Homo-oligomer: A and B are copies of this chain.
Amino acid sequence: MLIVKKFGGTSVANKERIFHVAERCIADYQKGHDVVVVLSAMGKYTDELIDKARDINPTPSRRELDMLLTIGEQMSVSLMAMAMNHLGARAISLNAFQVAMHTTSAHGNARLKRIDTERIRRELDDRKIVIVTGFQGVDKYDDYTTLGRGGSDTTAVALAAALHADACEIYTDVDGVYTADPRLVPTAKKLKAITYDEMLDLATLGAGVLHNRSVEMAKKYGVQLVVRSSMNDSEGTVVKEVVKKVERMIISGVALDKNADRISVFGLPDVPGSAFKLFNTLAKNNINVDIIIQSAGRDGTKDISFTVSHDNLQDAMDLLEERKEVLGFERIVSDRDVVKLSIVGAGMISNPGVAAKMFECLYNQNININMIATSEIRITVLIPEKDAIKAMNAVHEAFGLSE
């Protein structure tokens, strides 16, 4: 069996943890498996490198920043190889050049295009454990690139796809995917299995267990993932295409996203194109808009509300105030004290009334819903921040996830 195992920064943060990971990988190797290990930079080292860069240049070029950041994983993989050697195992570390990991040239947010498997295959055939730098790639100009936050998950999935691996295990500091964040919902349960689509919505919505691009890639190439804890041997959660009915509840999880602020624009002219102009202005300035609702205003005008991330709120407000006359609205207000609460579940498709049940549950708790957005397998509501924990627990309970 060929197994790809990915360990995040926390799992290799110090000597003791490096040896712990080394032992785990060697155990699989000694069973006769081919083992490929993907590592992130140690602990918070990537953040430290970013600080180091910003100290020299507050706005470093992305090309040079990637040149700096890639050393983080190169440190992890070489130290891991030394640890495995010390434990008597044959191991070799490889970076993005050595593999090679071909990506686009979008520094800081590159996409993997192609992975050469020749070198890895040769080392595996030579019965070595192969330790690969996550997160990084090389573009057509021979320049380093990075895949963005959580990119090591993507590296692992892409390697598993390219090598036709039998398993792709993502080790993290939680022991699987839960029905809700256990720190916020004490009755949250670990899921045995979840579909790619459900996981995608949970990842996007801030559950934070898996990087969403890695899930997209796993879905595209049919790579079955297992999310497991690097600290213990519990079974973890399988992420795959179809989850059998017996394993599945209507709702798989409840996710909370605190990184959302609301902007309301009042008194836009009720003529064709006014909404387009508004959102085009924001898009041109790289401000992503999430939930949008539009309602009739007074006297032939309309009101539009939408959410943006914390980072973008001030920019969005400044920009719209500046274009007030061109866009023709009366006034704008923003609200920081809101959160997005979502329920996700592939079972929704065949179970009508899920939305109604969620709204009823919130009504019973006397929680006001500001905005609503839905997809086939997800319902998201914007609610006051103060009600977040109460709402999360109530919804979790209402859909039987606490049982």
Contact = CB atoms under 8 A, between A and B. Distances in A.
Contact of A68 (B53, B70, B75, B85): B75
B52 A79 contact: yes
Given A119-B142, A142-B97, A67 B56 contact: no
A185 interface: no
Contact of A74 (B18, B71, B83): B71
B78 A93 contact: no
Contacts of A331: none
Given A56-B83, A57-B83, A78 B64 contact: yes
A-side interface mostly: helix
Q: Which of A55, A83, A97 has the most CB of B within 10 A?
A: A97
A143 B95 CA distance: 10
Interface residues of A, number: 36
Contacts of A63: 92
Contacts of A97: 97, 142
Contacts of A70: 74
A304 interface: no
Interface string A211-241: 0000000000000000000000000000000
A85 B67 CA distance: 14
B68 A18 contact: no
Contacts of A78: 53, 64-65, 67-68
A275 interface: no
A57 B85 contact: yes
Given A18-B56, A67-B93, A75-B71, A82 B98 contact: no
Nearest to A99: B142
Contacts of A19: 56
A58 B82 CA distance: 9
B142 A86 contact: no
Interface string A123-162: 0000000000000000000110000000000000000000
Contacts of A81: 61, 64, 67
A31 interface: no
A60 interface: yes
A15 interface: yes
A129 B81 CA distance: 36
A401 interface: no
A64 B82 contact: yes
Contact of A56 (B15, B61, B119): B15
A77 interface: yes
Nearest to A54: B82
Closest 10 CB pairs of A and B: A71-B71, A67-B78, A68-B78, A57-B82, A57-B86, A60-B82, A97-B97, A64-B81, A56-B82, A64-B78
14 contacts: A15-B56, A56-B83, A56-B86, A63-B92, A64-B78, A64-B81, A67-B77, A67-B78, A67-B93, A67-B95, A71-B71, A71-B75, A98-B142, A98-B143
Interface of A: 15, 18-19, 52-53, 55-58, 60-61, 63-65, 67-68, 70-71, 74-75, 77-79, 81-83, 85-86, 92-93, 95, 97-98, 119, 142-143
